Amino acid sequence: MDPRLAGSEEELVAQAAPQSAAAPAVRGGAVPLARAPFGLRVRRGLDKGGGRVYAVVFIMLLYGPLVLLAAFSFNDSIVFSLPWSGFTTKWYGQALSDSNLRTALRNSVIVSSIVAPLSVILGTLAAYPITRLRFRMRGPAAMLLAAPLVVPWLVIGISALIYFNKTHVALSWHTVVLMHIVVTFPLVTVLVSASLARFDRTQEESAIDLGASQLQVVRYVLLPLIAPALMASFILAFSWSFNNFEITYFVGGFDQLFPVWVYSTLRHASNLPIVNAISTLVSIVEVALVYTFWILITWRAGARTSREKTETLMESFR
């Protein structure tokens, strides 16, 4: 027997005890992970809980009024208070049967359908030279384009009313279109400029090196990459024009548009449920449009990414 292995059983246990005490306990063949310090666990819990609280408060502030609006549109009472007097859908029928409301909605949709695409075109044409060209008056030009975003719409509406009155221009939905474009296309300019500023210009240079003309570069390289910004700008421009009250009220003349109809209808408290009903329908349509555009944007981005991966894979096999 090897003398190094000699010794009583108690001595062997005593020699192994310090090592086993220092070694981590192993159960089931897995070493347990060390727990994080108590302070770090508290901070992580606060961060997680604070994020959840912030999300709940944000959602309540954003969608809470809309939920209340929709809920009380089914209340069988003109009083905006609890408890309910009963469930009814008569306010929706009264709203949809109002000829003045249908006219106001039609005019607002027509105005917004004209303002949105024109604002996208003008805003994109203004954003391109600001982000791509270098000229002496570039800074003042950018400030002038951004001015309608900081000037209150009330001031712009009153100024437009005075201008049209002095120039003997009849007020109608045509003047509303003109002024809505004035205050909306700067927003498109800002959004598209931000997208162009993040755009990798080496892709344009590569296309030019391969023989593409400037028009082809814009059509096949630039526009597809800023398409999400253009679609988002179209949505915001349409929404801004449809819901703009201040400018519409001053330059709309005798043509009825939806924001002005809501204002004039709310002068009588008995019409509050009707306004709740039609506002709920309009909000549902707007949310559906935004969701549809979001689906299109994500689908387009996913399709483009899949196509680029496929092309890269094919190139690797060549």
Strand, helix or coil for residue 75: strand
pLDDT at 23 over 50: no
Distance CA 125, CA 250 (A): 29
Is residue 250 assigned to a domain?
A: yes
H helix intervals, the chain: 9-22, 38-72, 90-96, 99-132, 138-150, 153-166, 173-197, 202-209, 214-217, 223-225, 227-243, 246-251, 258-265, 272-317
> How do residues 233-267 score in pLDDT, each as one tens digit?
998 899 889 989 989 999 988 888 999 998 888 88
pLDDT reported for residue 183: 92
pLDDT at 158 over 50: yes
The percent of residues above 70 in pLDDT, for the chain, comes to 78
Cβ-defined contacts of 143-150 (< 8 Å, 24+): 145/186, 145/189, 146/186, 146/189, 146/190, 147/186, 148/182, 148/183, 148/186, 149/183, 149/186, 149/187, 149/190
pLDDT at 312 over 80: no
Taking the model in full, what pTM does it have?
0.72
Is residue 81 assigned to a domain?
A: no
**192 in Cβ contact with 127 (< 8 Å):** yes
Is residue 164 assigned to a domain?
A: yes
Is residue 258 assigned to a domain?
A: yes
Is residue 53 assigned to a domain?
A: no
Residue 60: band (very low, low, confident or very high) from pLDDT cuts 50, 70, 90: confident
Cβ neighbours around 90 below 10 Å, total: 12
Is residue 312 assigned to a domain?
A: no
156 is written with which tokens?
Answer: 């712009």
Is residue 173 assigned to a domain?
A: yes
Please give the average per-residue pLDDT across 65-81, as a whole number: 79
**302 in Cβ contact with 278 (< 8 Å):** no
pLDDT reported for residue 107: 93
157 is written with which tokens?
Answer: 């509406």
Distance CA 247, CA 218 (A): 35
Is residue 132 assigned to a domain?
A: yes
Task: Find, among 92, 97, 61, 60, the residue nearest to 75 by Cα.
Answer: 92
Distance CA 156, CA 163 (A): 10
Domain that holds residue 122: 100-290
Q: Which residues contact 62 (CB under 8 A, 6 or more apart)?
A: none
Residue 270's CATH number? 1.10.3720.10
Task: Find, among 241, 237, 207, 236, the residue nearest to 224 by Cα.
Answer: 207
pLDDT reported for residue 13: 44
The number of distinct structural domains making up the chain is 1
